[in-house]
Chain A
């Protein structure tokens, strides 16, 4: 008997159980009026079990790697992400989000995207998150508000999120379990470019070497990663970079315009009433 077919019902049961456990755990953890410390503890236990179940499902469907570093940073990212959405206090929520960013940055580094790993920390944790904290401290200086203690439809949303995650896990597991045969798999761009640039490689032109994507085997770390990314960004995508710059300028001007226009109308109103 086919071993994949034999393990499939067990895997399906495990996946269904994980989906149910994750939904229940999210529902228990989300802010409600009737929650107690015990229900939160139960929710945390259920959530941990559900995440282990998802990992086991992914392993039996396609194989979760044994890379300890990756599992650590991924665990930090996922658990901090969970804490971001279930923490009552919005300030703690923002701090947990910074922790999740650290985990995501670690994942990107493990994947070999060094520039993006650092840029995530610099741009998100250094700029965007600080802006969120400014607004939070400005607008809610007394701390936790009553509307932070309740959620909109926590049960339906938790079920929707858990089911979506189950479907995604299933499709990702199928993806790695059933690798398409090489006859009908599209050749990756790296292979195509490698075949195209094979003749030109002997010239040892630095710019050609930079523009060519990473073709040197299976090593996960590329020493010239930033240079390659920069060459790609300012080579093929130069126009898009210009558009992004214009977008940044427009966002800056627009936000300042909205703020100052609001104040101006207020002043005008005061002047009229005077």
Chain B
């Protein structure tokens, strides 16, 4: 059993997480980030359920959260398979790549002013030279300089 103030605080945290996930799933265009936002909404609901469960001293809410975990695992497995299939068809993790499925009266999403080069120039630390310059390595070109 928890006091009512803790219940209020936990409900607020759950509400904040839910709304952040809602905004994320509405706006972001990367399919993976959209799924992360959905998981964030699930987390908010889980916090709310556990708070009420502890407030009432009833175990039903916590049992429900166990099932939420189970369903989230299933959902992630199935959804990632579909995301991978979608990626195999379009080569992008972009939700707008599938805008041919939109309703007839909606305008087409056209991106304006996107940067042509999405590379971020890395800022290397300035080190004083010491020793002999090592030999070049061909495998360097496979490394990623940003994430």
Please tell me which stretch of B25-33, B124-132, B133-141 contacts chain A, meaning at least 4 of its Cβ atoms lie within 8 angstroms of it.
Answer: B25-33
**Bound Cα distance A62, B27 (Å):** 32
Which A residues are CB-close (under 8 A) to B70?
244, 247-248
A176 → chain B, closest Cβ, in Å?
4
Best-surrounded residue of A30, A116, A140 (most CB of chain B within 10 A): A116
Contact: A131 with B77, CB < 8 Å? yes
Contact: B32 with A94, CB < 8 Å? yes
Contact-residue size bin, chain A (C-beta under 8 Å from the other chain)? 35 or more
Please tell me which stretch of A5-13, A105-113, A200-208 contacts chain B, meaning at least 4 of its Cβ atoms lie within 8 angstroms of it.
Answer: A105-113
Which B residues are CB-close (under 8 A) to A213?
57-59
A146 is an interface residue with CB less than 8 A from chain B: yes
Interface size on B, residues (CB 8 A): 86
**Bound Cα distance A191, B21 (Å):** 36
Which A residues are CB-close (under 8 A) to B18?
168
Q: Which of B25-81 contact A (CB under 8 A)?
A: 26-30, 32-33, 35-37, 39-40, 43, 46-47, 50-51, 53-54, 56-60, 62-63, 65-67, 69-78, 80-81
**Bound Cα distance A116, B65 (Å):** 8
Which B residues are CB-close (under 8 A) to A127?
73
A196 → chain B, closest Cβ, in Å?
14
Which B residues are CB-close (under 8 A) to A97?
36, 39-40
Given A33-B113, A108-B50, A251-B78 in contact, is the A190-B58 Cβ separation under 8 Å? yes
Contact: B63 with A189, CB < 8 Å? no
Which B residues are CB-close (under 8 A) to A229?
59, 62-63, 66
Which A residues are CB-close (under 8 A) to B84?
135, 138-139, 259
**Bound Cα distance A256, B19 (Å):** 33
Q: From A113, A142, A146, A172, give the contact of B50 (CB < 8 A).
A: A113
Contact: B146 with A190, CB < 8 Å? no
Contact: B16 with A101, CB < 8 Å? no
Best-surrounded residue of A33, A135, A217 (most CB of chain B within 10 A): A135
Given A65-B6, A104-B46, A128-B72 in contact, is the A244-B67 Cβ separation under 8 Å? yes
Which B residues are CB-close (under 8 A) to A42?
none
**Bound Cα distance A45, B81 (Å):** 39
Q: Mark A1-44, 1 if CB is under 8 A from B, else 0.
A: 00000000000000000000000001000110110000000000
Contact: B16 with A148, CB < 8 Å? no
Contact: B19 with A153, CB < 8 Å? no
**Bound Cα distance A18, B88 (Å):** 43
**Bound Cα distance A122, B22 (Å):** 24
Which A residues are CB-close (under 8 A) to B36?
84-85, 93-94, 97, 132
Residues of B within 8 A of A (CB): 1-13, 15-24, 26-30, 32-33, 35-37, 39-40, 43, 46-47, 50-51, 53-54, 56-60, 62-63, 65-67, 69-78, 80-85, 87-88, 92-96, 109, 111-115, 118, 120, 144, 146-147
> Apart from A100-B17, A112-B54, what are 17 other A-B pairs with CB-CB below 8 Å?
A34-B113, A63-B5, A64-B9, A67-B9, A85-B37, A97-B36, A116-B46, A147-B29, A147-B111, A152-B96, A157-B27, A161-B20, A161-B22, A189-B56, A232-B62, A259-B84, A262-B85
